[in-house]
Structure 1
Amino acid sequence: MHHQNSNSAARVSNREDYMSKDASPLLGGDRWMGSRVDRLTTTYDLVEQMYYLYVRVVKAKDLPTSAITGSCDPYAEVKLGNYKGTTKHFEKKPNPEWHQVFAFSKERIQSSVLEVFVKDKEMVGRDDFMGRVAFDLNEVPTRVPPDSPLAPQWYKLEDRRGGKVRGEIMLAVWVGTQADEAFPEAWHTDATSVNIEGMINIRSKVYVSPKLWYLRVNVIEAQDIEPNERGRSPEVFVRGQVGNQVLRTKTCATKTLNPLWNEDLVFVAAEPFEEQLVLTVEDRVSPRKDEVLGKITLPLTIFDKRLDHRPVDSRWFDLEKFGLGVLDGDWRKELKFASRIHLRVCLDGGYHVMDESTMYISDQRPTARQLWKQPIGMLEVGILGAERLLPMKTKGGRGATDAYCIAKYGQKWIRTRTIISSFSPKWNEQYTWEVYDPCTVITIGVFDNWHLGSGGGGSGKDLRIGKVRIRVSTLESEKVYKHSFPLIVLEPSGVKKMGELQLAVRFTCLSMTHMIYIYGHPLLPKMHYLHPFTVNQLDSLRHQAMTIVAARLGRAEPPLRREVVEYMLDVESHLWSMRRSKANFFRIMALFSGAIGLFKWFDGVSHWVNPVTTVLVHVLLLILICYPELILPTVFLYMFVIGMWNYRFRPRHPAHMDTRLSWAEAVHPDELDEEFDTFPTSRPQDVVQMRYDRLRSVAGRIQTVVGDMATQGERLQSLLSWRDPRATALFIMFCLCAAVVLYVTPFRVVGLVAGLYMLRHPKFRSKLPAVPSNFFKRLPSRLDSML
């Protein structure tokens, strides 16, 4: 018994580990160095105020030259206790300019004196000391944004004994918080193991996704097509290409020199429009061979940007034909006029170009800024820190994690700085987004940095630690949510908790009237309903948009690498997974559980399981029959009472990753191996055969359920379709009799008789199916026509 209780307690504890918890960080800051610095009044009120000693090293002048080399290669060294940071050095430059900022955390300060040294890198084996400047930390001023930056000053260099030497250095030293403008670009004390090449990859940055447009190419017709083989009637189609996107029209139904298509090819294009539209008219010579009959290359900047559904003027474009000729023994391509093509091309800005999974969309605005509405609120997120992160790499024979966060909402991406070698990093960075629709999701992911240079790690892909999603509509206005969310990932070995992420979130509503209007407004821009895309088009366009966003953000500095962007955009969410299929099935069953429970309750009432309840239902039935005008008010009042009662049980915190809902706790190892398999598969033939058989089994059950639903619908249709003449004749005669009876009988009497019949005592019931059920089951369906 004791062993069973222990196992039960362990399972409960394990489930609690996967749930979000309340966090109580000290928000808004406190004091630094005793009474030295008072609490700063800033807008960073969702994070703990972190105090830093900032040192801006600007430049130096009149530095002495070496007596041996006749020049100097100067660099500056900022030292505070056991911590020191160095600038880059310049060769043979007595007047260097560094423009670097160093930040020393309050928690790591172990000295009351700050020293800035200027040294000569060329003085090998000798004292390379050129001069220094010392500061007493008690005399360092405090800067409170939005005050202007502290102006740097010239300081005379001193020797080790305090005597003046040749040369001056321009510095600025102050105390500030992470709200300071210098914070993102500063060198931090926890990055001492990172070399200069890796510094760029640990800084916090804000990114903006490229503005995406749908490029709609309406291929109408072509004229005077010249086939390569004279006398042959060509089978012509048009192939379009924009960057890596390739689409084609159908082959013209008639073999003619003036083919007609009138088809749309839709691509995704990003500003600035670097790619070009390449159209080729091709002839299907054989099933495996196509010949180019004409080609045209058009820059995207020449096309109009359409904001609504107004028609676009069509234009004729001349095609160029490529033929092979010989000139001086060398092959060359000879351009000559062949024919022309009729196009209608535009950049559609009235659509929202989705670059993420439709399940977790974070922006629903159209591309064209002219169509944007006013924001309805502000979303503020404070990324506080993480706890109990697992080691993701090995450094010096010990496990280590270099964690940073990525947050994505709308077009704005943010990246926090990387905290080196810490399993409990503290970021305390706060960011703000404008909210245009509450039914959107912000995603915050945590990653391990593998691009710190030779001094800080490898150069592989950044590893995912976990992510958190928060739907804005689930947040109450003006309320600060401070929670610790579990970071959960699914690996081939099963579900795994990687740590916890502490967040502080606040949504501020700017206009309640506008908010109410948004709830009655269509989810997507108008163009999605006037000229909708097919499901296959949307899947293809979404994939192309993800690819473009990943490529563009990968060109930033520091780059958001492809593996990070794809994880944030849920690129793999549309792939088949047995686990997801089970999870979605049980989600559907949970939806029907309420209706099933209601039917079970009514069945218990009608069978007099609880006589008191049945009598009360009889009383309610009599009241509603006597006063039918109370039926609808009673229904709405009942829903109001249920809503008010459920207010006590409303969610107190945003939703988290639910391992039980995701069906990740009881997933079979082979199903996990199938989910993490490559596409196309890389598994042996016998494994693939087993999985194919399993897939056929599952699909067979789904097919049976769908077929049963179709059968019931077809039986309902057959009531009046005379597929069964006798059944239809009986039904229409019943309808005639029912109409006469209902016409001469008051509605109250009909309702009372029907209610009493349904609530009759079990003594008056038969265990055989009722007549309407028997009649309905005998109706024909189209199942008889299935092969």
Structure 2
Amino acid sequence: MPENFSLKETKPNIGGGRVSGGREKLTSSFDLVEVTHFLFVRVVKARDLACSNATVGGGVCHTFVEIKIGKYKGSTKYLEMNKRNPEWNQVFAFTKDRIQSLSVEITVREKEFVNDEFIGKIAIDMSDIPTRVPPDSPLAPQWYKLESEANSSVGELMMILWFGTQADEVFIDAWHSDVASVSGDSITNTRSKVYLSPRLWYLRINIIEAQDLVVPGDKNRNPEVYVKAALGNVKLRTRVSADKSLNPRWNEDLMFVAVEPFYDHLVLTVVDKNNEEEFSLGRCMVHLSEAYIRWLPEPVGAKWYNLEGGGDVVEELKFASKLNMRISLDGGYHVFDESIDCSSDYRATFKGLWPPAIGVLELGIIGASVLVPMKSRDGRETTDAYCVAKYGPKWVRTRTVVNSFSPKWNEQYTWEVYDPYTVLIIGIFDNCHLNGEKGPNPKDPSIGKLRIRLSTLSTNRVYTYSYPLIALQPSGVKKMGEIQLALRFTSPSYTSLLAAYARPLFPKMHYIHPLSVYQLDSLRQQAIGILCSRLSSAEPPLRTEVTGFMLDAGYQLWSPRKAKANTERLMDAVHVITEAWKWFDTIKKWNNPAANVLVIVLYLVVVFYPSLVLPTLLIYCFLIGIWQYRKRPRDPTHVDIKLSLADSTNADEWDEEFDTFPSSKQGEVLRMRYDRLRSMAGKVMVMVGDLATQGERLTALWSWQDPVASAIFLALCVMAAVVFCSGLVPPRCILVMVGMFVMRPPSFGIGIPCAPQNVFGRLPTKADCML
């Protein structure tokens, strides 16, 4: 059976069992996920422990606490202390539905003990454990006496046990029974966390000129000087100055992405290029804290910087060469780390330019189902899945559910919304940093990703759907499973929501001082590199492959499938124009005489009653909108494999899409792909040339490249102006004659081009000037 890649509406038990798709506003802070009950055990500390005789003499007691409930067992960290009052302050969470024991055993052990030996233990019945429901205050821990095998007191243990849900404050940092097979430092990689992207700025360096450069070697040679700028690992350079002297000028901008806090220095080096050799004429180092912070389109004052370290000749002089620059941190721009059309944030870097929030986005990550195996452990296939969601600068990561093809997370997160034309990005990954993974540097492979645009959601409605997880592989498109989500976009004021549509999408600096496409692409690559570096250094790390996948770091790589898909999108976008032209062509051919008569009557009404044209068009648009309302999409947007042409791509094109850059292919395969690329690019080249030809013919009407054609056009313009002004022939009559001539029956020579078409087709173009 073919795989089902469609969206499915679900009915999870959320909001106390109320209908999830209704308009009733739910009130609980975790109303978009299913309630999961846990048994929490908080071990605080112990006192007066009776350690073994071996450790008493040494003065060090290596103690830990073990909690056992049925087949589940968890233990605290070892504490090597020279006192008998250790403190752990750790929390353990056991899923209530999986508990098959009537009591909880808490045992205090010593590291040196083996087998069944222990210091003391406590047994508590399940019926004696209380239940806590937030926002109730946390329960206070109590002291429990430890009992030994000899029924003697061996110390006391402070702890507390209670039944709670994932809404409990300690849920995030607790040890979970789902990760009982994970031990050591790997447990940190299984916890849910919230990350914040660092604040990014555009750093603009306007390099104006240099003064009093000292060039070693032949003093009669005209130096070829340029400036290199380096910030962190990113290096840029200016062009070689056209003014080949000791006082060269550039007046060129170099753009970097800077990140707060500003640790890196901006290093600028003036370089002289002599044939194949390059010589440093001096360098200067600027700390970013000295840069001018600009959020308005105001000019920045230039400043002279001394150049140092240009060689022995410079050091002997009593003056230094100088470099004139303007350095500013432009906070009026939004630093793009995502695609412009699929971005989750458009706000400027400077907080004073942020618009007010228009609503709240709430996401409930319920769980996944039928996930495919991602790796093998102990001879059996398994998947350790976790989910990552990004909106604006806030990233969230769910806990890892170990060894499950149908994990249940039931975690809920919230974001503030500033613009409806934004996209929520959700990705699912397999955790390869637990016990038993092979390789020096394992990576977390992606299971799937989806995007949800907020403007396609109705406000104050809960969407509960199961989204397909689709992945592209060298063998083709594959369904990796499904993920169940609950989503709600709440806007308290429709006035603020409507006002957001009237605001410019980008900050004003993007319109007043726009950046080129090349600059935006380069700056986005810098931003992605910075985010990957910063988030991978968090604890637990959000790894580079995860951040790059969420941000589409490889968006610029060639794909024949994407090229074809974008062409299909372009054709669909102009579908209305082409269909209208086809319909008018059938009218001209008189295939349906009744329709032709009706069109002519409507045309005459429009000509003789022009005041009805605009109202008629508006009423027509209104009726079309009302007619299309019944066909409106009722489901959120999701990945469409037909739109992406993922269901019709052949094996060779898949292999080409997954080829490395530079290509790893050789011989006839690479030759064949290059020829295919040339064929596709040739068709695009011809299409662009045809469009340019029609535009050149239009401008040739008054350019006098063809004197006869230009004279005819201008003469017709004068004649038409005289006729319209004199009133001899009413404009309506002219419009009637033109319209009747265009829509004349085929027996009057409809297939032959008319004189204006013939004149336009003979207009000169620049095609004959092309090599």
Same-fold status (TM-score > 0.5): yes
Q: Is the 8 A contact 1:29 1:50 kept in 2?
A: no
Shift of residue 29, structure 1, vs aligned partner: 4.6
Match of 2:219 in 1: 231
Conserved? CA contact 2:35–2:165, under 8 Å? yes
Q: Which runs of 5+ in 2 are unaligned?
A: 19-25
Q: Distance in 2 between matches of 1:334 and 1:420?
A: 68
Name the counterpart of 1:675. 657
Residues 155 and 455 of structure 1: CA distance in aligned 2, closer, same or farther (over 3 Å): farther
Partner of 1:130: 119
SS of the residue aligned with 2:154? strand
Aligned residues: 756
Q: Does 1:190 align with 2:178?
A: yes
TM alignment of 1:440-519, pairs within 5 A = 440-454=422-436, 460-519=442-501
1:42 aligns with 2:28: yes
Which of 237, 254, 258 is equivalent to 2:247? 258
**What per-residue deviation string (whole Å, max 9, x for no partner) do you get for residues 587-609 of structure 1?**
11112222221222233234333
Counterparts of residues 284-683 of structure 1 (less than 5 Å): 284-286=273-275, 288-323=276-311, 338-454=320-436, 460-683=442-665
Partner of 2:272: 283
SS at match of 1:129: coil
Q: Name whichever of 684-693 and 431-440 sits farther off.
A: 684-693
Name the amino acid aligned to 1:112.
Answer: L
Q: Answer yes or no: is the 8 Å Cα contact 1:320–1:337 preserved in 2.
A: no
Percent of aligned pairs with the same amino acid:
53
1:736-761 alpha-carbon deviations (Å, 9 max, x no partner) = 33334444233433344444444433
Alignment partners' CA distance in 2, 1:215 and 1:255: 28
Contact 2:589 2:750 in 1 (8 A): no
AA partner of residue 270 (structure 2): V
- Separation in 1 of the partners of 2:27 and 2:702? 76
Q: Could you state the TM-score of these two structures normalised by the residue count of structure 2?
A: 0.94
Structure 1 residue 62 corresponds to structure 2 residue 38: no
Q: Matched residue of 1:573: which SS?
A: coil
Equivalent residues of 2:63, 2:108 under 8 A apart = yes
Note closer, same or farther for the CA distance 1:475–1:457 as it changes in structure 2 (3 Å cut). Answer: farther
Q: Which moved more, 1:112-121 or 1:598-607?
A: 598-607
Q: Shift of the alpha carbon at 1:704?
A: 0.6
Cα deviations by residue, 1:51-105 (Å, 9 ceiling, x for unpaired): 1111111111111021233253111011112211111112245221112111111
Find the aligned partners of 2:13 and 2:159 in 1 and give their Cα distance.
33
Which secondary structure state, in structure 2, belongs to the residue aligned with residue 419 of structure 1? coil
Counterpart CA distance in 1 for 2:530 and 2:395 is: 15
Aligned pair in 2 of structure 1 residues 19, 30: CA closer, same or farther (>3 Å)? closer
Q: For the Cα contact (< 8 Å) 1:209–1:549, is it kept in 2?
A: yes
2:191: which partner in 1?
203
DSSP-derived class of the 1:698 partner = helix
Task: State the distance in 1 between where 2:588 and 2:352 align.
Answer: 61
Question: Structure 1 segments of 4 or more deviating over 6 A?
Answer: 333-337, 455-458
Alpha-carbon deviations, 1:95-141, whole Å to 9, x = none? 2111211111122111231221111121235x422112232323322
**Which region of structure 1 is more displaced relative to structure 2, 229-238 or 202-211?**
229-238
Partner of 1:81: 70
Q: Work out the CA distance in 1 between the residues paired with 2:317 and 2:415.
A: 53
Contact 1:26 1:48 in 2 (8 A): yes
Q: TM-score, normalised by structure 1?
A: 0.92
Report the 3-state secondary structure (helix = DSSP H, G, I; strand = E; otherwise coil) of the residue aligned with 1:427: strand
The match for 1:770 is 754
1:704 aligns with 2:690: no
Secondary structure of the corresponding residue to residue 538 of structure 1 = helix
Gaps of 5+ in 1: 1-9, 32-39, 326-332
SS of 1:452 mapped into structure 2: coil
Q: What amino acid sits opposite 2:744 in the alignment? A: R
Shift of residue 456 of structure 1?
10
Instruction: Report the equivalent of 2:695.
Output: 713
CA–CA distance in structure 2, aligned partners of residues 382 and 335 of structure 1: 69
Which shifted more, 460-469 or 136-145? 136-145
- Mapped contact 1:284–1:291 kept (Cα < 8 A): yes
Q: Which moved more, 1:677-686 or 1:479-488?
A: 677-686
**1: CA distance between counterparts of 2:593 and 2:94?**
76
Alpha-carbon contact 2:365-2:484 (below 8 Å) kept: yes
CA contact (8 A) 1:56 1:99 kept: yes
Task: Tell me, yes or no, if the aligned pair for 1:320 and 1:336 is still in contact at 8 Å.
Answer: no
1:159/1:165 contact within 8 Å kept = yes
Q: Is the 2:470–2:477 Cα contact (8 Å) retained in structure 1?
A: yes
Cα deviations by residue, 1:315-371 (Å, 9 ceiling, x for unpaired): 22222125479xxxxxxx999964222222111111101012223111100001111
Aligned 1:678-689 pairs, distance under 5 A = 678-689=660-671
Q: Report the 3-state secondary structure (helix = DSSP H, G, I; strand = E; otherwise coil) of the residue aligned with 1:359.
A: coil
Decide whether the 8 Å contact of 2:148 with 2:154 is kept in 1. no
> Which position in structure 1 is the counterpart of 2:256?
267
**CA 1:370–1:774 in structure 2 vs 1: closer, same or farther (change >3 Å)?**
same
Check conservation: 2:51, 2:119, Cα contact below 8 A.
no
1:25-36 superposed matches below 5 A:
25-29=12-16
Give the deviation of 1:230 after TM superposition: 5.9
Deviations 1:372-405 (A, max 9, x none): 1111111111111111110000012111000001
RMSD, matched Cα: 2.2
- Find the partner of 2:97 among 86, 107, 116: 107
Partner Cα separation in structure 1 for residue 603 and residue 274 of structure 2: 77
> Retained in 2: the 8 A contact 1:448–1:464?
yes
